[in-house]
Amino acid sequence: MKVLLVSPPRRIWPYIDEQDNFLLPQWLACLAAVLRPVPGLELHVLDCMPEQVGWSSLERRIRRLRPDLVASGENHALFASEVVKLMRLAKAIDPEIVTVAGGAHFTNTYQQYLPHEPIDFIVRGEGEETLRELVLALDGGGLAEGRGVDGVAYLGNEGVTCTPPRQLVADLDSLPMPAYDLLPLERYGKGRFLFSPGGTTIHHGRGCTGRCTFCVWWRQMAHREARCDGTGSPERLTPHWRTKSVDRTLAEMEILHCRYGKRCLIFVDPTFNIDAQWNAEFAARLLGKGWDLSWFAFMRADLILRDEKLGIFSELVRSGLTHVCVGVERLDDAQLRRWRKPAASSDQYLEVFSLLRHKYPQVFRQATFIVGTPDETPASLRAQLAYARRLGADYPAFHPVTPFPGTELYDEAVASGRLEIRDFDQFDMMTAMMGTDQMDREEMEQALVALNKAYVGPRWLLRGLLSRHRYRRDMYTWFLLVSGRIFLDALRQRLNPLAPERYTSTFEPPWYQS
């Protein structure tokens, strides 16, 4: 049986393009590792982005290879249409090709896609064991056998059907090492400044202990109970967090650093710092390695403060932590509670960013904010901006409220009639999805542009460029160079270089259709 795992061509953001950085898709490496040992399986893996494989080239490859199964996945609503385009392409080449989609987006939208798109199976939730069993079943008995595998959804004679939910992998160390050797590691992280030198992704934990109403990530790796079906009967989801051992995590890091020369590792865990004991052991063991590397992590503010009091956070920084992203989201504590943000308060965020500024100035400080809640006003936006300035983040990412399918926020937005945009191609976390009680959607979009312009100015840029710390200087240099390139490209094309969409809207790279 021939299986082709594909991350298809996709549009890209101006600030993360092929001239700066592509990040290794962890799902591709992890699924390939599980499928590779299957007896009689001929496995092919293709990440189109770093290899600059456009749609025409991809079609030629599929025609030449003639796979029995094509699988892809997507966690982001924004890029789901390109996975669907891949499924359509595979079926157009050969209707007998079995098409499989997975990831957080398709897990939560299976009822929307299966009746209308040429997708044979959607893998729901964690994918390794489900996809492996599905491939074995299809090889042994075709579609009928595949429909008996736990953790999938499909369109049958009785409509859209889900099989019983797949149990999560209890021991992440039991999974094989990600198949980094099947991917073009030399093509990832080539940027001179962004996540430099040699950036690539890694993860040690899956899931989360929180259940934020706007977040789809904890749901993808949650415990699932009961049975779903085409009537929309809900599953019961319970947040669940698991981690690889420190030994296993360091073994993966050694491969990436020592074998492939990667010196900037981006941990994509939704929350890196949940377990204090794990953090302490990780820092101590990593320091003992003596590797020359830096690393990035998404961290919870209250857990940073916990680890600082325990003397752990300083060791994490000594071990190479150079970039922290904290989900601050709002100044309003009442809104944080409504969103069920765990142990979050505006004073706590101020304390964390003060700690980073004064004790750990070498660490790049990134914060995310969510604006456009129903009660948002021009005055509350000004307060958000003032709060962000008090925090002193190196980069404050102001995002409009984006209700992703599967979240409580999405259900509320649909039920209230507030959600004005349903096209997933616009779910880019830069486009306002809806207005507020006092501002319409267009006003919110203008306010987003104004927020970013007000924060990101010459003084902000100069302060970063003059930093004594290389990583922080590099990040600001990267921002300056990319912004300048976008500006000059617009002039060459006789476009308005000051138009906000030049800097925020995704675009097709030159080789996208080739």
pLDDT number for residue 229: 53
380-421 confidence digits (pLDDT tens): 999 999 999 999 999 999 999 999 999 999 999 999 999 999
Lowest average pLDDT, out of 93-107, 214-228, 339-353, 466-480, goes to 214-228
Q: Is residue 442's pLDDT more than 70?
A: yes
Q: Please report the DSSP string for 30-78 in residue order.
A: HHHHHHTTSTT-EEEEEEHHHHT--HHHHHHHHHHH--SEEEEE-S-GG
Stretch 201-230: mean pLDDT: 87
Tracing tokens 């710390």 back to the chain, one arrives at: 469
How sure is the predictor about 75, in pLDDT bands with cuts at 50, 70 and 90? very high
pLDDT number for residue 233: 57
Beta strands across the sheet bearing 152-156: 42-47, 2-7, 69-73, 98-102, 121-123, 152-156, 159-162
163-210 confidence digits (pLDDT tens): 999 999 999 999 999 999 999 999 998 888 888 888 899 999 999 999
Q: Please report the DSSP string for 414-478 in residue order.
A: HHHT------GGG-SSSS--S--SSS-HHHHHHHHHHHHHHHSSHHHHHHHHT-SSHHHHHHHHH
Stretch 367-374: mean pLDDT: 95
Could you tell me the two tokens for 161?
Answer: 């059907």
106-138 confidence digits (pLDDT tens): 999 999 999 999 999 999 999 999 999 999 999
Q: Is residue 85's pLDDT more than 90?
A: yes
pLDDT number for residue 172: 98
Q: Is residue 491's pLDDT more than 70?
A: yes
The chain-wide mean pLDDT, for the chain, equals 93
How sure is the predictor about 366, in pLDDT bands with cuts at 50, 70 and 90? very high
pLDDT number for residue 461: 94
